[in-house]
Amino acid sequence: MNYQEAMEYMERAAGYGIVPGLSNVKELLKRLGNPHQGLKVIHIAGTNGKGSTLAFLTSVLKAAGYKVGAYVSPTIFEYRERFQVQGKPVSKARTARLVEQVAVEADAMGAEGLPHPTPFEMETAMSFLLFREKRCELVVLETGMGGELDATNVIEEPLVCVFTPVSMDHMAFLGNTLEEIASQKAGIMKEGAVVVSAPQPEEVAAVLEKIAGQRGVKAFYQVEKEEIKEGQSKSLQGQKFSYGNYRNIEISLLGRYQTVNGAVVLEIVKALEGLGYPVSEKALLKGMAEAVWPGRFQILSKKPVFVVDGAHNEAGALELKKSLEFYFTNKRIIYIMGMFRDKECEKVIAHTAFLAEHIITVSTKGNPRALPALELAELAARVHPRVTASDSVEEAVELAFLLADKDTVIVAFGSLAYLGDCIRAVEVRRKK
């Protein structure tokens, strides 16, 4: 099986139904020799900020000299970005071998009358095979959606369980209240693990603390937002923040929300040190400064400024609004917006539309959850007088540049599924 054949296989596998629970992925892993057992895992759940937290943490641990594996979803550019060792995606050849190895057992399960594993279950198994093969000393896992029933929750003895900010998202699967969603995500907690949480709404914090007590965790630490001191520089080169005894931590990731993710990582590092995984101050500073994560308030060009950000739900929209008001006060702003149908599109528009002079909508191609550009434009037009539906991401990018002058700010945001195409379109245009 070559890489193209592997991708075609995974696309076909997407047609299999979902069976709730962990029994299916456990059966698959059993047939593969239980590659997840023995891995030293930091497990991350939450609504927003999981990827950025993972990026900071893997960068710090790599700088400290550890061999680090990371399992990521969703990705921006390529499928194989899901599986990373030392911050680098696995090769196409190795990806194909992993797909083939897992496909043999997955197809055997189907032939025996068992539910065929879903792509996410198969990818989770692939990541564990890779990390065992590469002998990773530490593994950072990002849940796909929830926690309790997420395929990654087969990990029985995580070192640290992490909760980034929890908000309303995936309600069809996780529940209609913050308490219900928090309960699902809290399912990754295990007896003896250390828990680290970002600042949370009161109802979320109460659920996490209650379940932590029930599960018998080793310790529970929650970042206090009041302890995060953000720098006031509006430089687009990076930012600084202080937290507790840590002073003037430099990070290259922009967006005011990144200081919260950074503070969470500082707490994780302290927890790991207590578990026998020390990180020097030099490695910490180096790792935080060098962390990169595409698609999160990323600057693609300067004149005009072009920003891409994965704000796709209400909480993300509020954070994007805060960052735009901070970095681009009184600037002329043009939006490119693409959303999934099952997201809180109207709330995202309500929180952000007033900052834009013009809104251009796009569809995320090849995804059944995508909201057509025309429908998204109709929603935006209810609250904004200048909205244009575009036929493609490339056309939207070209139109945005035509409408902009050198002092304008173009902001493409929404579903991560189209941001890779947006980034490529800007890069192609810059090379002309």
Mark which of 269, 290, 311 sits at the end of a domain.
290
The burial of 173, by beta-carbon neighbours within 10 Å (0-12 exposed, 13-18 middle, 19 or more buried), is given as middle
200 and 111 in a single domain? The answer is yes
pTM summary value: 0.92
Indicate the number of domains in the chain. Answer: 2
Measure CA of the first residue to CA of the last residue in the chain; give whole Å. 37
pLDDT of residue 172: 52
High-pLDDT (> 70) share of the chain, %: 97
Q: Cα angle vertex 275, ends 271, 277, to 5°?
A: 90
- Cα 399 to Cα 377: distance, rounded to the nearest angstrom: 15
pLDDT band, very low/low/confident/very high, at 258 (cuts 50, 70, 90)? very high
Say whether pLDDT at 17 is over 80. no
Give the chain's mean pLDDT. Answer: 93
pLDDT of residue 326: 95
120 and 173 in a single domain? The answer is yes
Say whether pLDDT at 175 is over 70. no
278 and 313 in a single domain? The answer is no
- Cα 126 to Cα 131: distance, rounded to the nearest angstrom: 9
Say whether pLDDT at 174 is over 80. no
Mark which of 290, 310, 338 sits at the end of a domain.
290
Say whether pLDDT at 171 is over 60. no
Average pLDDT score over residue span 325-340: 95
Is residue 254 within 8 A of residue 217, CB to CB? The reply is no
Say whether pLDDT at 170 is over 60. no
pLDDT band, very low/low/confident/very high, at 127 (cuts 50, 70, 90)? very high
32 and 96 in a single domain? The answer is yes
Mark which of 241, 258, 290 sits at the end of a domain.
290
280 and 411 in a single domain? The answer is no
156 and 132 in a single domain? The answer is yes
Query: 245 or 283: which carries more pLDDT confidence?
Result: 283
pLDDT of residue 178: 87
111 and 232 in a single domain? The answer is yes
pLDDT of residue 169: 66
pLDDT band, very low/low/confident/very high, at 369 (cuts 50, 70, 90)? confident
9 and 105 in a single domain? The answer is yes
pLDDT of residue 73: 82
Say whether pLDDT at 311 is over 60. yes
144 and 278 in a single domain? The answer is yes
pLDDT tens by residue, 71-86? 998 788 889 999 999 9
180 and 318 in a single domain? The answer is no
Average pLDDT score over residue span 396-400: 96
37 and 179 in a single domain? The answer is yes
High-pLDDT (> 90) share of the chain, %: 80
Average pLDDT score over residue span 293-307: 93
Q: What sign does the CA torsion over 374, 376, 381, 385 have? A: negative
Domain CATH code at residue 40: 3.40.1190.10
270 and 352 in a single domain? The answer is no
Q: Which of 167, 104, 193, 116 is nearest to 315 (CA)?
A: 167
Please state, as a whole number, how many other Cβ atoms lie within 10 Å of the Cβ of residue 77: 14
For 316, the domain range is 298-431
pLDDT of residue 364: 79
pLDDT of residue 205: 94
Say whether pLDDT at 35 is over 80. yes
